Amino acid sequence: MLIVMRKDATGAQVDGVLEVVSKLGFKGHAMPGAQRVAIGITGNKGPISADHFRYLDGVTDAIPVSKPFKLVSREVKQEDTVIQVGGVTIGGGTFAVMAGPCAVESREQLLEVARAVKEAGASILRGGAYKPRTSPYSFQGLRDKGLEYLAEARAETGLPVVTEVKDVETLPMVAAYADILQIGARNMQNFSLLEAVGQVPKPVLLKRGLSSTVEEWLMAAEYLASGGNYQIILCERGIRTFETVTRNTLDLGILPVLRELTHLPVIVDPSHATGRWAAVTPLARASVAVGADGLMVEVHPDPARALSDGPQSLKPSKFKTLMQGVRSVAGAVGMRLA
Amino acid sequence: MLIVMRKDATGAQVDGVLEVVSKLGFKGHAMPGAQRVAIGITGNKGPISADHFRYLDGVTDAIPVSKPFKLVSREVKQEDTVIQVGGVTIGGGTFAVMAGPCAVESREQLLEVARAVKEAGASILRGGAYKPRTSPYSFQGLRDKGLEYLAEARAETGLPVVTEVKDVETLPMVAAYADILQIGARNMQNFSLLEAVGQVPKPVLLKRGLSSTVEEWLMAAEYLASGGNYQIILCERGIRTFETVTRNTLDLGILPVLRELTHLPVIVDPSHATGRWAAVTPLARASVAVGADGLMVEVHPDPARALSDGPQSLKPSKFKTLMQGVRSVAGAVGMRLA
Amino acid sequence: MLIVMRKDATGAQVDGVLEVVSKLGFKGHAMPGAQRVAIGITGNKGPISADHFRYLDGVTDAIPVSKPFKLVSREVKQEDTVIQVGGVTIGGGTFAVMAGPCAVESREQLLEVARAVKEAGASILRGGAYKPRTSPYSFQGLRDKGLEYLAEARAETGLPVVTEVKDVETLPMVAAYADILQIGARNMQNFSLLEAVGQVPKPVLLKRGLSSTVEEWLMAAEYLASGGNYQIILCERGIRTFETVTRNTLDLGILPVLRELTHLPVIVDPSHATGRWAAVTPLARASVAVGADGLMVEVHPDPARALSDGPQSLKPSKFKTLMQGVRSVAGAVGMRLA
Amino acid sequence: MLIVMRKDATGAQVDGVLEVVSKLGFKGHAMPGAQRVAIGITGNKGPISADHFRYLDGVTDAIPVSKPFKLVSREVKQEDTVIQVGGVTIGGGTFAVMAGPCAVESREQLLEVARAVKEAGASILRGGAYKPRTSPYSFQGLRDKGLEYLAEARAETGLPVVTEVKDVETLPMVAAYADILQIGARNMQNFSLLEAVGQVPKPVLLKRGLSSTVEEWLMAAEYLASGGNYQIILCERGIRTFETVTRNTLDLGILPVLRELTHLPVIVDPSHATGRWAAVTPLARASVAVGADGLMVEVHPDPARALSDGPQSLKPSKFKTLMQGVRSVAGAVGMRLA
C-alpha cells in the first residue's frame, strides 16, 4: 500500500496518517520524495482497504502495490498512457517514428534531413543540440544555435522536436524549444536531473541506462512521476554485454515484460543499439512486430562525414526503405502509424 | 588465403604445397584439423592468386579469407545455404517453424503436441530425449524410449524430427532416429562432439553458447564444416547478461550481422531466450521481421506440470496464435512459410 | 600529438597553431574542451617533434599521445600522482584507508564511527550527506546537516573528510565542507558535473561507473583534468555482471593495467563491490596485495539498523580486524600505511 | 532433506523409502542421478529428523540441505576438504602452486619449465597435452606424446602433474598419466564428461565456466560428487564481462562466498583471467591475501614463441619473483606453502 500525500500536505497531516497506520497494527514509512511525501505500509499480511486512508487530511491517494515502483506500474494504472505532442499520438496502438541526425551540425544539414524524414513518413524530428560526449575533446553540439535550427525545422515541417537535455543548468533553455525532453542513457540515474525534469510540463523520453535493469529504469521513471510529470516515454537503446560485433545488445525481449509491468509507452532506438546502419532497418521492423510504440532513428545526409555516430546513421534513401518496412509490418500486426 | 587439402592428402603432398608457398616468399602454416589438413598463408601484403595452389597435388581448394572462420564465411560462399530435410526447406526465403515439448515425457504427451503443432502449421517437431541438466538430480530425459516416441510421432504426422545429442557416446543412437541433430548451448564448444557430429551426414542445429561471441559461434560451426558437414543451422537462443527479468537476453541485433558474415541459415529460439511464455509470441513475430530463417518454440499440453521449462512453454492454443502472427508478419516481409 | 593551449589563448592563437600544423602537411583538430582548447594532430605517419609547436603563441604544451585520454595518461606523465590532503598522503607507496558510514544518519552515529575508525587506524573519514538513491522514496541523506556533522567529526578526530557531491547545484555547499569530493558511480559520466568539479581546487575521488570500461573511466578523469583539476583518485567499486551472489563483481584485475595506463592513484571499495560484509576484509587484504593505493570501507555501529547498505557494513570491531590484516599484508608488499 | 541411496539400492528399496516419506505427509522425489538414486523431500514446513530415514533399507545417508547442491555444500560437511596428491597437500591452510606451460610443446620445453618452476617453489606441474581450441585450425596439443613428456618431467622433478581431459574418449589415457584431472572452462557443463570423471579415483580440478554462476559451478561439482568423486578442487579463472582490457574479469569476490557455501578447496588462475603477464604476479599475491588455497600459473621459457597463450605466460625469472611475493603474503596471512 502506498499512501500519496498532497504536495502541500503539512507535517501534522503526515503524522496523522502515520498514527492511523499504527493504530491498525501496521508500520508506516514516511518516504520524503523530491516533491511530496508518500507513506509506505508494511507489516500487513493480507491486503488493506484503501478506504482507511483515502479520506484522511492531506492524502491524495492510497494505492495497493507490490513493486518498488508505484506510480508508473500497471498495478496502479491499468490503461495505457497515451501522449499527445504537437498533434502526434504516442502509445495506445499508434506507432510514432522519431528521426533525424544524431547531432545538429548546421542549419542546412538539419533542414535537409527534416524534410527528408517528414516526406518518408516520420512524425517527430530528433536532433542533439547539447551533446554529452565520452571525450572532453569531442564536438559538444551547437548548443543554443542547434535549438534555434530545430525550431526553424519544426516551423517549416510541422514536426514536433525531441532533443536531449544534459543538465539542470541548460534545462530551461532546452525546455523552451523542445516538444519532448530526452534524457540520455548516461543520465538515466542522474537523480537531480530527473527531479528537475519531473517538474517541467513537457513529455519526457527516458532512455534506458547502459547497464540498467528494468527495475532501475522504472525507478528512474518513478522519479519523474513522483515529481508530477507522468508524460514519460521509455526508450530501449541496447545494453552493454560481452558481445562486440554490435555496439550494444538490443534487448527486445523486455518489451512484452514492460507491457505487464508498466502503463508507459515504450519505443526502440535501433541506431544506438547496434551502431551499424545495415542492422537498423531489420531491427526497426522487429520493433514494430514485438509491439513497440515507436522508433527513434538516426538519419544523416552524409554519414561518412557525420560529426558523431556516422556508422549507425541511415541516408535519407535508406530511411525511406525503413519506413516502407515499418508500414508493412505495422499493418500485419494491427498498428497504425502516427 | 586458405588452402584446403583433400581428406586423403598425404604428408608429402602437404609438404609439396608448403614448398610452393615458401618459394613465393610467404609463410605456410599447416593446420592439422580434425578431418583434413588446411594450410594458412601469412606474410603476404596484398592478395595472392589462388591459381598458384589450386592445381597442386592433394589440394581441393584455395580460398582467400580475412576472417578466422573460413568455410562458413560469406567470403568463401556467396549464396545462402539452403537445407532440405524430410521435404522441408530451411533457408533461402523459406521460414521453418520447429515446435514441440522441451522434453519428451511420455508417448501420449508427445503425440498430442505433435498433432497440435502440425495442425497449427509447424513444419518440424522438436523434443528432447537426452537432456543435459544443470543438476544431477533432475530428470535426464527418457533417452532411447524418447527417441522411439519421436520416431512414432514423425511416422504419424510426417514432421521431421530435431532432437539434442549430448555426447559422442549416444551420437550413433540419436543419429539413427533424428532428422536434425541439435547441439545445445552448453555443448557449443564441446569440440570433441563437434568433430564427431562433423562426420555425420545429417543437418545440425548449432545453438549459440550462453556467453559466446558471434566469432566463437562461427568457429564452432567451422569445426563442423571442417569435418565435412556443411548442413548447419545456427540458432540464437539468448545470451547471459545482468538483466534478470528474462531468463536470457535475446540478441536479435546480430541477425543482420550474421547475414553479412556467414551463408548459413539462422533461426531463433524465443522460449529459452526469455523463459516467459507471454514473451514468446511477440518475439516470434520479431524474429520473422528481423529476417530469421525460422523458429524453435516449446509447446506443452500442460506447462504447469512440465518436467522441464514449463514457465516458457506455450499451450497448443497459444501456439496457434503464434503461428497466425508469424504468418501475417512473414507475408509483410515477403517470406513464405515452410 | 596533443597541443594544449593556454586557458587564455585567443582564437587567433589557435588559428596560428592550426596553420602551422597544416603547413607541415598534417591535419589539426581544434578540440574546444570545457576549459581550454587542445589541438589534436592526425595524418602523421611517424612521430612529430614537439618543438614545432611548443614555442608558438598561446601554446602551453605539446604532448605525443597514442590514447584517447591524454592528461591522465602515463604517457604524458611518468611519475605517480601523489595527493596530500589534511596531512594524509595518497599514492606513491602510501596506503590510505577511508572508512565511515554509508550515510551520515545522526550526529551520534557519525561521531561514534569516526572515533572507532580513527582508533583502528583509518586515515580519512567517509560519510554520505547527499545520497543519490535508486528510489525516490528512499532516505536521501541529511544533506546540509550531514555536512555539519562531518565537519564536527573532522574537528574532533583530525580525520579529513570525503563525501559525495551529487549535482552542480549543491557543489558549492559540499565543496565548502569536504576535503575530498566524491563522484559516485552513477555520476561517472555526468559530464556537466565533471566539468564543474574540474574547476574546484579540491581532490576528487572518481568512482568507476557500474558498467564503465577502463577507457571510459579514464576519459571521465580526463574531463576533470582538462578542466584544471589534476588531483584525481580513481576508485574501483565493482562492475555489473551476470553473477548475483555478490552485489557487483570486484575487478581487481584492472589495477595492474591502470598502473600502466595512468599516473593517478587507485583505491578499492570492497563494500559496494560485494554487498556482503563477510567478504570485505578478505578483499581489503587482496587490494593491498594487488598494489592499490588505498581502500574505502563502510563501517556502521549497528549494521542491522542502517538506513542504507547495512548488509555490507562492518561493525567497528570487525573493522579493527580488517585493519590488522591490511597492516600485515602492507608490510609483506612493502607499503606503508597513511 | 536429501536421502542418498546406496549405489546398489534396488527399485523396491527406493519405493520403500518413498512410502515412508509419503506416510509422514511429505512428498518424495526420486532423483535418478548418474550413479545412484537420491530422494529429495519437499512439503515439509520445518526440519525433519534424519532418523526417520537413515536406517531404512538401501539408504546410505539422510542430509538436511537448503541449497540445490548437496554433497559439495558446507551444510552437508563442515570441515574443509583436504586433498593429498603425490605428497602435496591442497586445502586446509596449505597453499599449492601449480605452474607450467599452457601447452606441452616439446620434451625440452617441458623439462626446462618443470625444473624452473620446481626450483622456484611450485609444488605441482601443469601442462596441456590435449588442447580444446576455439579454432579447428589451431594447434591441438601433442596428445599422447605430451602425456609421456609430463610423466618424464614428473619422474625427474618429483612434481605431481595436472593436465586437461577434454572428452570421455581420451579419459582413460589421460587418467593413466595425470595425478590431477583438469576439466576446462568450456567443459564445465559437459555433463557426460563430469559423469565419467566422477567415476575415476583421481582428484579433479574443475574450472569455472566462462559465464557460470557460482550455483551452476557448484552443481557441476555436485555431478562429480554424486558420481562418487569427492576430491574436487575448484579453480576460478575469470568470467566474461563487457571489459576488454583484460581477457576475462577475475572474480576474487566470490572466494569468501565460496568458503561459506562449500567445503571444497578453491584455487585461482590469474593467467587465463587476465591474459596479460604483467598482471599475473600482482593477482597471484591478491589470491593468497583473499584466502585461496592455491594458484595455477602459466610459465613458458619463450612466451613470444609459445604455440598458445604466450601473452599471458611468465618467463621463469618472472615466476621466481611471483613466488617470492606469494611466500611473503602467505606469511602475512598465516598460510604455509605446499
Residues of D with CB under 8 A from a CB of A: 211, 240-242, 244
Q: Which residues of C touch A39 (CB under 8 A)?
A: none
Q: Which three cell numbers stand for residue D102?
A: 599452457
Q: Answer for the pair C249, C258: CB distance below 8 angstroms, yes or no.
A: no
Q: Are residues B127 and B218 in the same domain?
A: yes
Q: Cβ D239–C242 below 8 Å, yes or no? A: yes
Q: Answer for the pair B306, B275: CB distance below 8 angstroms, yes or no.
A: no
Q: How far apart, in Å, are the Cα atoms of C165 and each of C98, C192, D333?
A: 17, 13, 37
A43 Rama sector, left if φ>0, alpha if ψ -120 to 50, beta otherwise: left
Q: Identify the closest residue of chain C to B239 by CA–CA distance.
A: C242
Residues of C with CB under 8 A from a CB of B: 211, 240-242, 244
Give the position of cell 600482482: D282
C70 within some domain = no
In 3D space, the residue among D76, D63, D61, D146 whose CA is nearest the CA of residue D111 turns out to be D146
| Interatomic CA distance for residues A194 and A189, integer angstroms | 8
Other C-beta atoms closer than 10 Å to the C-beta of A47 total 8
List of E strands, chain A: 2-5, 27-32, 37-42, 59-63, 83-85, 88-90, 94-100, 124-126, 161-164, 180-183, 204-207, 232-236, 266-268, 294-298, 336-337
Residue A115: pLDDT band with limits 50, 70, 90: very high
| Interatomic CA distance for residues D159 and B12, integer angstroms | 40
Query: A74: Cβ–Cβ under 8 A, 6 or more apart, which residues?
Result: A259, A260, A261, A262, A263
| Interatomic CA distance for residues B216 and D186, integer angstroms | 12
Pairing relationship of beta strands C232-236 and C266-268 according to DSSP bridges: parallel
Q: Tell me how far the alpha carbon of residue D216 is from its chain's centroid.
A: 14
Instruction: Reply yes or no on whether the pLDDT at D246 is more than 80.
Output: yes
Q: Cβ B240–C244 below 8 Å, yes or no? A: no
Q: Are residues A57 and A105 in the same domain?
A: no
Q: Answer for the pair C122, C98: CB distance below 8 angstroms, yes or no.
A: yes
B76 within some domain = no
Where among C10, C28, C63 does a domain terminate? Answer: C63
Q: Are residues B223 and B300 in the same domain?
A: yes
Of A137-146, B230-239, D294-303, the one with minimum mean pLDDT is A137-146
Question: What is the pLDDT of chain D when averaged over all its residues?
Answer: 93
In 3D space, the residue among D84, D47, D62 whose CA is nearest the CA of residue D3 turns out to be D62
3-state secondary structure C67-116: CCCCCCECCCCCCCCCEEECCEEEECCEEEEEEECCECCCHHHHHHHHHH
Give the position of cell 508498466: A262
Instruction: Reply yes or no on whether the pLDDT at A33 is more than 80.
Output: no
Distance from CA of B194 to the nearest CA of D (A): 10
Q: Are residues B179 and B255 in the same domain?
A: yes
D247 within some domain = yes
User: Can you tell me the ipTM of this complex?
Assistant: 0.89
| pLDDT < 70 stretches in chain C | 32-34, 43-45
| Interatomic CA distance for residues B8 and D152, integer angstroms | 34
Q: Answer for the pair D60, D54: CB distance below 8 angstroms, yes or no.
A: no
What residue numbers bound the domain in which A299 lies? 83-337
Residues of B with CB under 8 A from a CB of C: 211, 240-242, 244
Q: Cβ A244–D244 below 8 Å, yes or no? A: yes
Q: Are residues B7 and B89 in the same domain?
A: no
- Cα-Cα-Cα-Cα torsion A96, B254, B166, D237, nearest 10 degrees, comes to -110
Instruction: Reply yes or no on whether the pLDDT at B30 is more than 90.
Output: no
Q: Are residues C144 and C191 in the same domain?
A: yes
pLDDT at D67: 84
A333 within some domain = yes
Q: Which residues of A touch C133 (CB under 8 A)?
A: 191
C146 within some domain = yes
Q: Cβ B256–A289 below 8 Å, yes or no? A: no
Residue-wise pLDDT tens digits, D60-83: 888 877 788 888 998 878 889 999
Distance from CA of B107 to the nearest CA of A (A): 33
Q: Answer for the pair B1, B62: CB distance below 8 angstroms, yes or no.
A: yes
pLDDT at B45: 66
In 3D space, the residue among C266, C296, C286, C269 whose CA is nearest the CA of residue C92 turns out to be C266
For an interface test with B, the pick among C242, C245, C247, C248 (most B C-beta atoms closer than 10 Å) comes out as: C242
Q: Are residues B27 and B140 in the same domain?
A: no
Q: Which of C253, C290, C329 sits opposite D333 (nearest CB)?
A: C329
pLDDT at A297: 98
pLDDT at C296: 98
Residues of D with CB under 8 A from a CB of C: 211, 213-215, 238-239, 241-246, 248-257, 260, 270, 273-274, 276, 278-279, 282-283, 285-291, 325, 328-329, 331-333
In 3D space, the residue among D145, D141, D185, D181 whose CA is nearest the CA of residue D160 turns out to be D181
pLDDT at B43: 66
Q: Answer for the pair B43, B192: CB distance below 8 angstroms, yes or no.
A: no
Domain count, chain A: 2
Q: Identify the closest residue of chain C to A141 by CA–CA distance.
A: C32
Pairing relationship of beta strands B232-236 and D161-164 according to DSSP bridges: unpaired
DSSP calls for B10-62: -HHHHHHHHHHHHHTT-EEEEEE-SSSEEEEEES-SS---THHHHTSTTEEEE
| Interatomic CA distance for residues C207 and C112, integer angstroms | 26
| Interatomic CA distance for residues C85 and D150, integer angstroms | 56
Residue B113: pLDDT band with limits 50, 70, 90: very high
Of B81-85, C86-90, C222-226, D157-161, the one with minimum mean pLDDT is C222-226
Residue-wise pLDDT tens digits, D22-44: 998 887 878 766 678 888 777 66
For an interface test with D, the pick among A242, A246, A247 (most D C-beta atoms closer than 10 Å) comes out as: A242
Burial C37-70 (b: 16+ CB within 10 A, else e): bbbbbeeeeeebebebbeebebbeebbeeebbbb
Q: Are residues A93 and A58 in the same domain?
A: no
| Interatomic CA distance for residues D30 and D40, integer angstroms | 7
Q: Are residues C104 and C161 in the same domain?
A: yes
Q: Identify the closest residue of chain A to D242 by CA–CA distance.
A: A242
Q: Which of D33, D136, D169 sits opposite B168 (nearest CB)?
A: D169
Question: What is the pLDDT of chain B when averaged over all its residues?
Answer: 93
A32 within some domain = yes
Residue A52: pLDDT band with limits 50, 70, 90: confident
Q: Which three cell numbers stand for residue A118?
A: 517528414
D77 within some domain = no
User: How many contacts does C have with D, using Cβ atoms within 8 A?
Assistant: 136
Q: Are residues C260 and C128 in the same domain?
A: yes
DSSP calls for C182-197: EE-GGGTT-HHHHHHH
Q: Cβ D240–B166 below 8 Å, yes or no? A: no
A189 within some domain = yes
Instruction: Reply yes or no on whether the pLDDT at B65 is more than 90.
Output: no
Percent of chain B with pLDDT over 90: 77
Residue B34: pLDDT band with limits 50, 70, 90: low
The DSSP 8-state label assigned to residue B73 in this structure reads B
The Cβ-side half-sphere exposure at B74, using a 13 Å CA radius, reads 10
CATH of the domain at D10: 3.30.70.1140
Q: Which of B211, B240, B242 sits opposite C240 (nearest CB)?
A: B242
Instruction: Reply yes or no on whether the pLDDT at D47 is more than 80.
Output: no
Pairing relationship of beta strands A266-268 and A232-236 according to DSSP bridges: parallel
Q: Are residues B212 and B241 in the same domain?
A: yes
Pairing relationship of beta strands A59-63 and A2-5 according to DSSP bridges: antiparallel
Q: What are phi and psi of B240, to 5 degrees?
A: -90, 125
Residue A38: pLDDT band with limits 50, 70, 90: confident
Where among B12, B29, B63 does a domain terminate? Answer: B63
Distance from CA of A243 to the nearest CA of D (A): 7
Q: Cβ A239–B249 below 8 Å, yes or no? A: yes
Pairing relationship of beta strands D88-90 and C161-164 according to DSSP bridges: unpaired
Q: Are residues A15 and A135 in the same domain?
A: no
Kindly give the residue spans of alpha helices, DSSP state H, lying in D132-240. 144-157, 171-177, 191-197, 214-226
What's at A312, amino acid-wise? Q
Q: Which three cell numbers stand for residue D244?
A: 576488454
Distance from CA of C170 to the nearest CA of A (A): 10
CATH of the domain at A96: 3.20.20.70
Distance from CA of C239 to the nearest CA of A (A): 10
Q: Cβ B244–C241 below 8 Å, yes or no? A: no
Q: Please, which chains are in contact with B (at least 3 CB pairs closer than 8 A)? A: A, C, D
Q: Please, which chains are in contact with C (at least 3 CB pairs closer than 8 A)? A: A, B, D
